[in-house]
Amino acid sequence: MGLKLAVVGGGSTYTPELVDGFARRADRVRIDEIALLDIDPERLAIVGGLAERMLARQGWTGRVVQTTDRDTAIDGADFVLIQLRVGGQRARLGDETMPPRFDLIGQETVGVGGFAKALRTVPVVLELAEAVARRSAPGAWIVDFTNPVGIVTQALADAGHRSIGLCNVAIGFQRRFAARFGVEPERVELEQVGLNHLTWIRAVRVDGVDRLPEILEQDVEELADDVHITPDRLVREQAIPSYYLRYYDDEAGVIAEARTKTTRAEEVMEIEHDLLELYRDPTLDTKPELLEHRGGAFYSEAAAQLIASLTDGRGDIQIVDVRNDGTLPGLADADVVEVPARIDRDGAHPIPQAPLSPTQYDLVSRVKAYERLAIRAAMSGDPTIARAALAANPLAGDPERAGELLEAIFEVNGRWLPRFFPNG
């Protein structure tokens, strides 16, 4: 008998990409039912219709269920993949446009915007996880792709849920380096360590041989441009940082650049509008090219590969967000980190790593302290803890302005924060 996969946020324009990934791995993971859950029935019907046509075209014989009922979706599910967005792109627009009023970075995963998203998201995900524990199949896995992934996965781990966090950044680099060396992606292993959206690639092993020195010698200009740091620094540190490190290193530059651009939320709204119009076409049964511009490159590959390995126990190494448990020295065992892990039927087993550099460790420690306060604030609805979280956030400016920032967050997000505003 095959498995049941529930996709929370099944009306996402990502969903066709996701189901395509699973259909192409039918030899590794047999899924008999995919339940797409969304609160928007019209959008769900459009996205779900395309998903069904794509699966039929590939000869998949399972069943797609479209539902707005949470329990129907998760009942008996073996895997629950979470890709929800509380407040939709409208809330994301607030994450990106409110912080610049205070001369701060506006972004949906870090800084003040990331904090606002965490407040909206963590309680919803934990409530869902409790329902999964009651209603899904014994030993069901929660796979979180919902941003901010590090904070959400930390909250799930702290609550004892059987969960793994997943980001597409690592698999994007893996595919990039595989193409560079002309090898299959499975032959490339990254030593990517840190926290979600705050990582460093310290080795690129192709068939077990570290090719990072060669990459940094021959491709340094291109890489430096992609991650927005100087070539000299790349060579000096012998590590490829996450693109997000720029937010911590060059706040003024990021803010100035953002003022000259359309927000990413506005770009995505336009892309999603056009995608949904394409998805309505009853003859469309393949991924439209426009989907590549939505973001989340290789998302389907990362999710499908993780769930396939959890099912067949292949034991391959993937970059995931899991409890540290001694993997990165200096961080607590309970801290969720983003590291290489061996994936089998029992879960993700992180591979012990060398310590972070002193500079890396200092920043990671400060961000982790903020993340833990953010979770406490989200779950308690306590403004005092929320102010403390903002004061601890390295991208939230002067701690003395935390109260003012919190009021602005409440002004934009109040409707999505019932723990802070229980009476509406």
CA distance 186 to 178: 8
Q: Using an 8 Å Cβ cutoff, are 44 and 101 in contact?
A: no
Q: Which long-range contacts (CB under 8 A, 24 or more apart) does 249-258 make?
A: 251/104, 251/105, 251/395, 254/105, 255/100, 255/103, 255/104, 255/105, 258/96, 258/100, 258/105, 258/106
Residue 279 among the catalytic residues: no
CA dihedral (333, 336, 337, 339) positive or negative: positive
Residue 332 DSSP label = -
Chain CA centroid to CA 414, Å = 24
Whether the link from the prior residue into 148 is cis, omega within 30° of 0, is yes
Residue 274 DSSP label = H
Which of 134, 154, 135 is closest to 144 using CA atoms? 154
Helix (H) or strand (E) holding 291: none
CA distance 318 to 166: 10
Exposed, middle or buried, 78 (CB in 10 Å: 0-12/13-18/19+)?
Answer: buried
Chain CA centroid to CA 156, Å = 14
Collapsed DSSP state (helix, strand, coil) of residue 376: helix
Collapsed DSSP state (helix, strand, coil) of residue 43: helix
Amino acid at 59: G
Tokens of 416: 């999505």
Phi then psi dihedrals of residue 289, to 5 deg: -60, -30
Q: Where on the phi/psi map is residue 199: left (φ > 0), alpha (ψ -120 to 50), or beta?
A: beta
* Contacts with 189 (C-beta within 8 Å, 6 or more apart), sequence order: 174, 204, 205, 208, 317, 340
Point out the catalytic residue in the list 14, 243, 244, 248: 244
240-241 and 198-206 strand pairing = antiparallel
Catalytic residues: 244
